[in-house]
């Protein structure tokens, strides 16, 4: 959708995600693999851990951890920032990941501060996981500093893979400034306003110099395939999928660790006109698993599904009444794309 932040279209109408998917077919991946080996050689240690891999127990962090260990002989220290409202399957998957033999540090930032930052993100930006999305970068840097580790390897660069900023397309590493400007959309200072700095220890980018810590996305070095990652994680890390499809889509094996993600993608749909099904359809079309016509049918079936089953958890977590909660939803709904029908919003657009 043209409403996606930072998306671009070329002269024939292809978005930058599709342009990139074609470019990947002819990219010199051997050269990028040599870059990866050089990066690993730079950070490999005789003692201790070589790098940090942020994980959630899901497919992507599991794939990266497994690849670092088995293909490159590295010693990854895995770190997870436990999410609020973790699902039962999310708990099972992180436990199975530990049973697969990977060392794991679990970070639990102060619950009330996390709740406050997520609530501010929900109310002000329509981003109900803003505090947690911040902590998966900042808390990881704290752990890296404590263990004298100078490389953090994330999974995919969502901006490149899914149609956002292209500034990091040819850069093997990314900066904290990039995270704040792009991933957190420059909203950090306003979200922090009035909070005791001591309470922000796990969310603070600037209190120490982290310039010696390099951050990279695995997808820069290898053709990224979420479904392959799922199969590897299932075989080697004990990944479990849901018995039914996830809310708002037709798949059942991704982003299962917290039910707040279901609210996140529902709000994404109301703000921009595309939701979780559109995300999954785009990935599957680009990898050749769906036709565009099949994708449109799936989007029309699933994209506008509100996660009703989790409403009590949302109200309790944000400490809001139902009227207050839905007033926030209404505020963020894009009135040029939707009209209200009872309690919910229905699209006024069609996908061609």
CATH number assigned to the domain comprising residue 139: 3.40.50.620
Share of the chain above pLDDT 90, in %: 94
- CA–CA dist 111, 272 (Å, integer): 30
Whether 223 and 262 map to the same domain: the answer is no
| Host domain of residue 321 | 246-347
Domain count, the chain: 2
Share of the chain above pLDDT 70, in %: 99
- Residue 201's pLDDT is 92
Whether 130 and 257 map to the same domain: the answer is no
Task: Answer yes or no: is 315 within a domain.
Answer: yes
Which pLDDT tens digit goes with each residue over 18-68? 999 999 999 999 999 999 999 999 999 999 999 999 999 999 999 999 999
Average pLDDT, the chain: 95
Whether the pLDDT of residue 207 is over 70: the answer is no
Whether 130 and 23 map to the same domain: the answer is yes
Whether 82 and 192 map to the same domain: the answer is yes
Task: Answer yes or no: is 67 within a domain.
Answer: yes
Task: Answer yes or no: is 115 within a domain.
Answer: yes
Task: Answer yes or no: is 158 within a domain.
Answer: yes
- Residue 210's pLDDT is 83
Mean per-residue pLDDT, 306-312: 96
- CA–CA dist 70, 81 (Å, integer): 24
Task: Answer yes or no: is 7 within a domain.
Answer: no
Q: 1 falls in which pLDDT band (50, 70, 90)?
A: confident
- Residue 211's pLDDT is 85
Whether 90 and 172 map to the same domain: the answer is yes
Whether 190 and 277 map to the same domain: the answer is no
Whether 26 and 153 map to the same domain: the answer is yes
Whether 220 and 300 map to the same domain: the answer is no
Whether 262 and 201 map to the same domain: the answer is no
Whether 168 and 24 map to the same domain: the answer is yes
Residue where one domain finishes, among candidates 228, 255, 275: 228
Mean per-residue pLDDT, 308-332: 97
Whether 253 and 216 map to the same domain: the answer is no
Task: Answer yes or no: is 241 within a domain.
Answer: no
Instruction: Flag the least confident range among 208-212, 294-298, 331-335.
Output: 208-212
Which pLDDT tens digit goes with each residue over 212-262? 999 999 999 999 999 999 999 999 999 999 999 999 999 999 999 999 999
Whether 219 and 320 map to the same domain: the answer is no
Task: Answer yes or no: is 40 within a domain.
Answer: yes
- Residue 290's pLDDT is 95
Q: Is 351 exposed, middle or buried (0-12, 13-18, 19+ CB in 10 A)?
A: middle
């Amino acid at each position: 959708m043209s409403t996606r932040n930072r998306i671009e279209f070329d002269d024939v109408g292809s978005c930058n995600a599709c342009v990139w998917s074609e470019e990947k077919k002819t990219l010199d991946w051997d050269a990028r693999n040599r870059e990866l080996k050089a990066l690993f050689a730079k950070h490999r240690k005789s003692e201790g851990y070589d790098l940090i891999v942020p994980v959630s127990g899901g497919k992507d962090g599991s794939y990266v951890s497994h690849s670092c260990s088995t293909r490159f002989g590295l010693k990854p220290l895995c770190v997870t920032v436990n999410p609020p409202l973790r699902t039962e399957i999310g708990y099972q998957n992180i436990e199975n990941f530990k049973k697969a033999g990977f060392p794991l540090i679990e970070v639990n930032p102060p619950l009330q501060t996390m709740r406050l930052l997520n609530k501010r993100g929900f109310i002000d930006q329509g981003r109900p996981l803003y505090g947690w999305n911040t902590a998966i970068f900042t808390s990881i840097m704290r752990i890296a500093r404590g263990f004298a580790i100078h490389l953090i390897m994330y999974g995919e660069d969502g901006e490149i893979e899914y149609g956002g900023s292209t500034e990091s397309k040819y850069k093997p590493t990314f900066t904290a400034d990039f995270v704040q400007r792009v991933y957190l959309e420059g909203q950090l200072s306003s979200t922090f306003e009035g909070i005791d700095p001591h309470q922000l220890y796990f969310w603070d980018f600037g209190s120490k110099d982290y310039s010696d810590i390099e951050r990279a996305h695995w997808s820069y070095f290898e053709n990224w395939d979420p479904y392959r990652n799922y199969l590897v994680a299932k075989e080697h890390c004990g990944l479990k999928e849901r018995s039914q499809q996830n809310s708002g889509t037709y798949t059942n094996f991704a982003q299962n660790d917290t039910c707040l993600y279901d609210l996140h993608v529902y709000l994404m749909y109301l703000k921009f006109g595309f939701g979780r099904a559109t995300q999954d359809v785009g990935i599957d079309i680009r990898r050749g698993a769906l036709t565009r016509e099949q994708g449109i049918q799936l989007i029309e079936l699933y994209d506008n599904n509100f996660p009703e089953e989790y409403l009590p958890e949302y109200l309790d977590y944000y400490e809001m009444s139902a009227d207050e909660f839905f007033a926030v939803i209404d505020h963020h709904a894009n009135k040029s794309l939707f009209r209200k029908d009872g309690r919910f919003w229905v699209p006024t657009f069609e996908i061609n």
